[in-house]
Structure 1
Amino acid sequence: MGLTNACNVDDEKEIAEMNLKRTIGLFAALVLLSACAGKSIDAIPVSDFNSQRYLGKWYEIARLDHSFERGLSNVTASYAKRSDGQIKVVNRGFDDEADRFKQATGRAKFADDPSSGKLRVSFFGPFFGDYIIFGLSDDYRHAYVSGGNDKYLWLLSRSRSVPPSVRRDFIKRANALGYDTGALIWVDQSRTE
């Protein structure tokens, strides 16, 4: 009887230690993630957003470098309506080193009002990131997208290239928000499938 109680006390101590280690580990991970998030960018989403018109294929013209797309060319993003009202997101790009296309599938949901160009996108289960459309041409041919911080920025187009005037406007507006546009990667879109 005394041995059973001693074992229970030891088990409880071990469980308490494991829980403390998990809590410390989780806190450290959260601190690390917030440090990697970058400086907040106050991008104002477009209003009168029409998600139906936004659906379809977009070519990535420019981006800031980040691990998810590092080394990829010929990057596209395709959006389609899901039965639950969210949006299916398929990002695809050619990995020159592996000599093949890579693809990631995720989902997007509206952050607020569906008429606002602010969405939340996830490729990793319950973890969502900002997707703020802060510039959109009237004909839905060009989109300027912020990730809500100074690490994530994209210029998207319905075609493989954009006119110089769109590039200049994108750089001007992104600079005004605080982005380092000198670090932009202008994506090679020369590969046809």
Structure 2
Amino acid sequence: MRQLLLPLLIATAGLSACAAMPVGNPKVPEPAQRVELDRYLGTWREFARYENRFERDCVNVTATYGQRPDGKLSVLNACERGGKSTVAKGVARLTGDDKGAKLEVSFFGPFYADYWVLDRAPDYSWSIVGEPSGRYLWILTRQARPDAQTREDLVARVKALGYDTSLLHFTAQP
């Protein structure tokens, strides 16, 4: 009985933690535009996000995507936390959707999570990334500090996609 108790407690705690997370968009839209991966590659700056446990207290957040020889993408997420750099390396793969906007990302071996490019600028200067549950959201830009009009437009765009903009955490960038 004791051998079953610990896994049951861990599973219950995990489900409780997921249930406590705010859902910022209960009706996540399908990605709006086709994504050309070669144009999406490179370094992005995090303008804003829904706060999450793995980025808590992170500033100067970047995500860098590169092409791998096996057709997958390399993922390098970096941030500063308490004056120290933190890096997470992962891999992404396409899911086969017709727009190339739905990917899966893994930082933990065989476990993948959805990564949907919900919208993007025609020139790939910004993108809005989410996933089907509506609990996670990132607004990425190529510039560390986009101008005031772009910032306003991005927040309005997120709201138009059905997300609760009051949950946005604006990322400090150098």
Please indicate, yes or no, whether the TM-score normalized by the shorter chain is above 0.5.
yes
Say yes or no: does 1:58 pair with 2:44: yes
Paired residue secondary structure (1:68): helix
Higher RCO structure (Cα 8 Å, ≥6 apart): 2
Counting aligned pairs with the same residue, the percent is 34
Letter in 2 for 1:123: F
Cα distance between partner residues in 1 of 2:43 and 2:128:
15
Rg larger in structure: 1
Say yes or no: does 1:157 pair with 2:141: yes
CA RMSD after TM alignment: 2.4
Cα distance between partner residues in 1 of 2:27 and 2:112:
17
What displacement does 1:157 show? 1.0
Say yes or no: does 1:176 pair with 2:160: yes
Equivalent pairs, count: 172
What displacement does 1:150 show? 3.1
Alignment check: 8 A CA contact 1:63 1:154 kept = yes
Distance 1:147 1:104, change over 3 A: same
Question: Structure 1, residues 64-96: CA drift from partner, whole Å, max 9, x if none?
Answer: 11111111110000001112211111000011x
Cα distance between partner residues in 2 of 1:70 and 1:36:
16
TM-score by length of 1: 0.76
- Hey, which of these two has a bigger chunk of helix by percent? 1
Paired residue secondary structure (2:55): coil
Alignment check: 8 A CA contact 1:43 1:146 kept = no
Letter in 1 for 2:35: F
Question: Structure 1, residues 25-77: CA drift from partner, whole Å, max 9, x if none?
Answer: 68646744653565444222143310011111111111111111111110000
2:75 aligns with one of 86, 89, 104: 89
Structure 1 gap ranges (5+): 1-13
TM-score by length of 2: 0.84
Paired residue secondary structure (2:54): coil
